[in-house]
Amino acid sequence: MKILRTDPLRPDPQVVKTAAEVLRRGGIVAAPTETVYGLFADARSDAGCARVFKAKGRPPDNPLIVHVDSVEMATEVAEVPAELYEVLKRVWPGPLTLVLKSKGVVSRCVTAGLETVAVRAPAHPVPLAIIRELGAPIAGPSANKAGRPSPTAAEHVVEDLGGEVDVVVDGGPTFFGVESTIIDVTKRPPLLLRPGPFTVEELERFFGPIEVPPVARGLSEADVAVAPGMKYRHYAPDTPLVVVHFDLSAAAAALRSRGLRVAVLCAVGKCAEADAVLRLGDDIYEVAKNLYGALRELDRLSVDVGLVPAVEERGIGLAVMNRLRKAAGHREAFNLEDLLRYELG
């Protein structure tokens, strides 16, 4: 494995060239996007794609996102309805993935044999430069081991996949820290599959009313998977985590008085005394950005339980709550009684 550093905003041409060369030969490259780090292969390469699945330990029926540099490139891999074309011109590049009808030109490995394909143009100079240098779309999931939090820094990628990837492009921490918003526009109204930095409020300005199913809020695991990836457990630290909707101090104190070692993840002005304190930030964008790093940190603390306050489900807060609920294995407490019902420690 080679680690190549670059300024995220002005990608080093030599680094971009090397990355594209590795991809051209069927190799795999981890690189930042504005959301999280991705693990990329040439979207046309069966061999490259197979290596991505193997490195991640990802089930073969869970398709990858195809990353393009433009709406034009998207039309090469997917059917883009005329009315969507102008909309995409306005929303891309950005943290928004669209599920569209596939033209079948990317590797079948990438789409897991589906008739649809997930496509996005990332708003990050590094992957955009790599796609342009390669002259083709790149396919990739988040660059974590399956079941681990998505990587928001190059160190996370090395931690999870160090031995398996050819090149890690280190462009520093990612900008948003949670994965892109995914909507299925083959459905009427468009269906939100995963909330992200591109908010529902913004989506509705461009796409009209959007359907937000409970599973997109993280309220349940989909048993009939709407997005193939939804049936797999995600973002889970080993330390049990609880989302707390009442007074955080009271929650922490109650568990500590029962002999448990407690970490609190402080967010949006809510904090408490505990055995360990991880600060996510007071601004909701800061919370999103620091969340996955904190979940990795939580497992290094050797505490019995983590507590995190619930945040408001609007704007990027919808994405934050979705990730928190999943990380907590859907443990949510609205009062002390709820909290003490969970088997913790």
Report if residue 153 touches ligand TXA, rule: CB under 6 A.
Answer: no
CA distance 37 to 204: 27
Among 8, 11, 27, 38, binds ligand TXA (CB under 6 A): 38
Q: What residues have CB less than 8 Å from 247, skipping those under 6 apart?
A: none
Contact criterion met (CB below 8 Å) for 120 and 198: no
Stretches 7-15, 227-235, 251-259, 263-271: which one binds ligand TXA (CB under 6 A)? 227-235
CA distance 260 to 7: 44
Among 36, 146, 311, 333, binds ligand TXA (CB under 6 A): 36
Among 229, 293, 309, 317, binds ligand TXA (CB under 6 A): 229
In terms of Cβ atoms closer than 10 Å to its own Cβ (0-12, 13-18, 19+), residue 3 is middle
**DSSP letters along 248-281, please?**
HHHHHHHHHHTT--EEEEEETTB----SEEEEEE
Report if residue 180 touches ligand TXA, rule: CB under 6 A.
Answer: yes
Among 45, 97, 107, 322, binds ligand TXA (CB under 6 A): 97
Whose CA is closest to 193, among 100, 99, 279? 99
Stretches 8-16, 59-67, 267-275, 324-332: which one binds ligand TXA (CB under 6 A)? 59-67
Q: Please check if 75 is assigned to a binding site.
A: no
Residue 149 or 306: the one with the smaller Cβ distance to ligand TXA is 149
Which two three-digit tokens encode residue 100?
A: 């569209």
CA distance 195 to 184: 12
214-241 per-residue burial string, b: 16 or more CB within 10 A, e: under 16: ebbbbeeebeeebbbbbbbebbbbebbb
Report if residue 142 touches Mg ion, rule: CB under 5 A.
Answer: yes
38 binds, among ligand TXA, Mg ion, none (CB under 5 to 8 A by kind): ligand TXA
Report if residue 227 touches ligand TXA, rule: CB under 6 A.
Answer: yes
Report if residue 322 touches ligand TXA, rule: CB under 6 A.
Answer: no
Report if residue 45 touches ligand TXA, rule: CB under 6 A.
Answer: no
Contact criterion met (CB below 8 Å) for 197 and 180: yes
CA distance 98 to 184: 6
Residue 98 or 333: the one with the smaller Cβ distance to ligand TXA is 98
Report if residue 63 touches ligand TXA, rule: CB under 6 A.
Answer: yes
Q: What residues have CB less than 8 Å from 205, skipping those under 6 apart?
A: none
Q: Please check if 180 is assigned to a binding site.
A: yes
**What pairing do the DSSP bridges indicate for beta strands 241-244 and 276-281?**
unpaired
Stretches 7-15, 30-38, 45-53, 128-136: which one binds ligand TXA (CB under 6 A)? 30-38
Binding residues for ligand TXA, total number by CB under 6 A = 25
The HSE-up count of residue 281 (CA atoms within 13 Å, CB side) is 15
Q: Please check if 235 is assigned to a binding site.
A: yes
Name the minimum Å distance from CB 146 to ligand TXA.
9
Report if residue 140 touches ligand TXA, rule: CB under 6 A.
Answer: yes
CA distance 255 to 247: 13
Q: Rule CB under 6 A: which residues touch ligand TXA?
A: 33, 35-36, 38, 62-65, 97, 99, 114, 116-118, 122, 140-142, 179-180, 182, 193, 227-229
Annotation: binding site for L-threonine: 35, 67, 120, 142, 180
Q: Rule CB under 5 A: which residues touch Mg ion?
A: 141-142
Annotation: binding site: 35, 58, 62, 67, 116, 120, 142, 150, 180, 194, 235
